[in-house]
């Protein structure tokens, strides 16, 4: 009994800080943009965090709010974003957006928010913000293994008219310039992020669609199985990178 408790205690210890495999995309930002992201009073993504904080307490028609079950998000949601995507109860891979929507439809008995809608972006950003500075740590074993392998295959598969794989740019030539921008390693620790190109905040899947378009490949839907598996793979690639949401990107 005591030994089991001790063991559980040991297992609960945070893993020693590891050196991440890849660089956070903010390492490739200009000093100005880096400062904009770091300053809570200037980062435009914080507008969505404010919105999320209000939505967290807003009650659905059944009288329940996020806060009715989860209480204070600054406590209960700490570290949540670091563990997503993960496999849900029904064997489906869920990222933060889908997890929030699952709560909404199954617990609050309210209609799901559309992917990329303002309330879903706001809640996702608010939840992700509670893990600020915590290292990404998704699980890729057991039931997640199939999704992980699928994502890994996607990352390495050549696609589109330009016949490029994600790996060719984001592993091969990361750090070099692609027109006015610098190619990053494809780390996802700052999403949802405010992109200057969009003039607004957007989800990771919106960013992935932009990448797909860039190589003239099929753009999958927001929340599609393809992008979810890829998100899991990218989250694993980003392991030990500190969460920065909402990031500021070009």
Partner 1 sequence: MALAVARVSMPATAKKGDIIEIKALMRHVMEPGYRSDNRGQIIPRDIVKSLSVMYAGAEVFRMEMHPAIAANPYVVFSTVAVDTGELVFTWTDEKGATTVEKKPLMVTA
Give me the least distance between CB of 180 and partner 1, in Å please. Answer: 16
Residue 46 binding partner 1, by CB under 8 A: yes
Task: Check if the beta carbon of residue 58 is closer than 8 Å to that of residue 65.
Answer: yes
CA distance 220 to 91: 21
Site for partner 1 in 86-125 (CB under 8 A): 118-119
Give me the least distance between CB of 117 and partner 1, in Å please. Answer: 9
Nearer to partner 1, 94 or 121 (CB): 121
CA distance 47 to 67: 20
Task: Identify which of 164, 66, 77, 61 has the alpha carbon closest to the alpha carbon of residue 129.
Answer: 77
CA distance 74 to 132: 11
Q: Of residues 41, 63, 75, 141, which one binds partner 1 by CB under 8 A?
A: 41
Nearer to partner 1, 181 or 197 (CB): 197
Task: Check if the beta carbon of residue 182 is closer than 8 Å to that of residue 176.
Answer: yes
- Residue 103 catalytic? no
Count of residues in contact with partner 1, rule CB under 8 A: 16
Site for partner 1 in 49-88 (CB under 8 A): 50-51, 54-55
Could you tell me which stretch among 41-49, 76-84, 157-165, 238-246 binds partner 1 (CB under 8 A)?
41-49
Please say whether the dihedral angle defined by the alpha carbons of residues 86, 90, 92 and 97, taken in this order, is positive or negative. Answer: negative
Nearer to partner 1, 51 or 244 (CB): 51
Q: In this structure, how many other beta carbons lie within 10 angstroms of the beta carbon of residue 4?
A: 8
CA distance 110 to 105: 5
CA distance 52 to 58: 10
Give me the least distance between CB of 209 and partner 1, in Å please. Answer: 15
Q: Strand, helix or coil at 64?
A: coil
From 103, 166, 169, 211, active-site residue: 211
Site for partner 1 in 161-200 (CB under 8 A): 196, 199-200
- Residues contributing to the site for partner 1 (CB under 8 A): 40-42, 44, 46-48, 50-51, 54-55, 118-119, 196, 199-200
Active site residues: 211
């Amino acid at each position: 009994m005591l030994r089991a408790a001790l063991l559980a205690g040991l297992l609960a210890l945070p893993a020693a800080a590891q050196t991440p495999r890849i660089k956070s995309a903010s390492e490739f930002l200009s000093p100005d943009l880096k400062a904009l992201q770091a300053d809570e009073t200037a980062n435009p993504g914080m507008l969505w965090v404010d919105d999320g904080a209000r939505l967290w307490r807003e009650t659905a028609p059944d009288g329940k709010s996020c806060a009715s079950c989860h209480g204070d998000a600054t406590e209960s949601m700490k570290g949540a974003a670091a563990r997503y995507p993960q496999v849900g109860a029904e064997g489906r891979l869920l990222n933060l957006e889908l997890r929030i929507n699952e709560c909404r439809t199954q617990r609050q008995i309210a209609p799901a928010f559309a992917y990329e809608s303002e309330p879903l972006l706001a809640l996702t950003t608010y939840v992700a913000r509670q893990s600020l500075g915590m290292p990404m740590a998704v699980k890729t074993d057991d039931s997640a293994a199939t999704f992980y392998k699928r994502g890994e295959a996607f990352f390495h598969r050549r696609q589109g008219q330009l016949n490029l794989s994600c790996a060719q740019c984001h592993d091969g030539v990361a750090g070099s310039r692609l027109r006015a921008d610098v190619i990053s390693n494809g780390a996802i620790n700052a999403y949802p992020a405010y992109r200057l190109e969009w003039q607004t905040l957007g989800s990771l899947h919106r960013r992935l669609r932009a990448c797909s378009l860039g190589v003239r490949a099929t753009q999958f839907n927001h929340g599609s199985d393809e992008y979810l598996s890829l998100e899991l793979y990218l989250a694993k690639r980003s392991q030990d990178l500190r969460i920065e949401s909402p990031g500021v990107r070009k």
